[in-house]
Amino acid sequence: MNKIDLTKLQNPVKSELASFNIFFKEQLTSEKKILDYALRFILSQKGKKIRPLLVLLSAKVNGKLQDRTYRGASLVELLHTATLVHDDVVDEAEKRRGFPSLNKIWGNKISVLVGDFLLSKGLLIAVENDDYDFLKTITNTVKRMSEGELLQIYKAKKLDIEEETYFKIISDKTASLLSTCCEIGACSTTTDVEKITALKNYGEYLGIAFQIKDDILDFVGKTKIFGKIQGGDIKSIYGLFIFFSFLFF
């Protein structure tokens, strides 16, 4: 399995992505020193920004990008970053993208509060600009992501996870946000319900496919290439289910 060439995906919105990066950086500032230090640290860990990219591409396929498009892209990236910060606390992770995790440096309490700040910042961007349709969409996404995480934890303890539940978990945990990215991007440049729905569904299927491949890479991927510690997920009951699923389903 080869890594996706992000450059090819970024080319159609290369200049717009550069504008987004500037806009996003402006959102991650604070007058509170310790918070500002933490936000700068997060910015230094340059991610792939797949989610904002999906927003921009979904917007451009329907028309010219608007200021609203950049706000939507920032909203989903802030939500995504907040979940990563909180996940590291829950998982007691010591590294993120090759760097020490936020909780490793500042501790769990500050990390949770930073995650809360990121989420609230995204919501404020939408509220202050009357992007209430974005709020409705993102609120449902947070609900689905939380339910997916809880279902995974519950089923792992019950030891009775099945194929249908696996797809429910990855749909809510991963696909919901990618679906939201495509929906918000489309909403920022068109009011055509058919086009918006089509892109929303595309994001959902993309997210499911992405998570399945990510789970497979836990068993066959090379850490040096993909950045995943081989066998990391299989340590959990959830991971064991995935392993036997790919063998027998």
pLDDT per residue rounded down to tens, the chain (249 residues): 345 678 888 999 999 999 999 999 998 888 889 899 999 988 888 778 999 999 999 999 999 999 999 999 999 999 999 999 998 998 888 888 777 889 998 999 999 999 999 999 999 999 999 999 999 999 999 999 999 989 988 887 776 778 899 999 999 999 999 999 999 999 999 999 999 999 999 999 999 999 998 888 777 655 444 444 544 454 454 554 444 444 444
pLDDT of res. 246: 45
Distance CA 158, CA 148 (A): 15
Nearest to 182 by CA among 24, 10, 51, 80: 51
- The residue whose two tokens read 């249908």 is 164
The pTM for the full model equals 0.85
Which helix (H) or strand (E) is 135 found in, with range? helix 132-158
d(C-alpha 140, C-alpha 9), whole Å: 28
Query: Strand, coil or helix: what is 6?
Result: helix
Which residue in this structure is represented by tokens 């608007």? 66
d(CA 221, CA 160): 27
Q: In whole angstroms, give the CA distance from residue 42 to residue 111.
A: 11
Residue 87: CA count within 13 A, CB half-sphere: 13
How would you classify residue 222: left for phi > 0, otherwise alpha for psi between -120 and 50, otherwise beta?
A: beta
Q: Give the amino acid at 53.
A: L
Give all domains of the chain, ordered by start, each with its CATH number: 10-132 (1.10.600.10), 140-249 (1.10.600.10)
| DSSP, res 100 | E
The secondary element (H helix, E strand) that includes residue 96 is strand 95-96
If phi > 0 it is left, if psi is from -120 to 50 it is alpha, else beta; for residue 4 that is beta
The three-state secondary structure class of 231 is coil
Q: What is the pLDDT of residue 226?
A: 45
E-state strands within the chain: 95-96, 99-100
The predicted structure's pLDDT at residue 97:
74
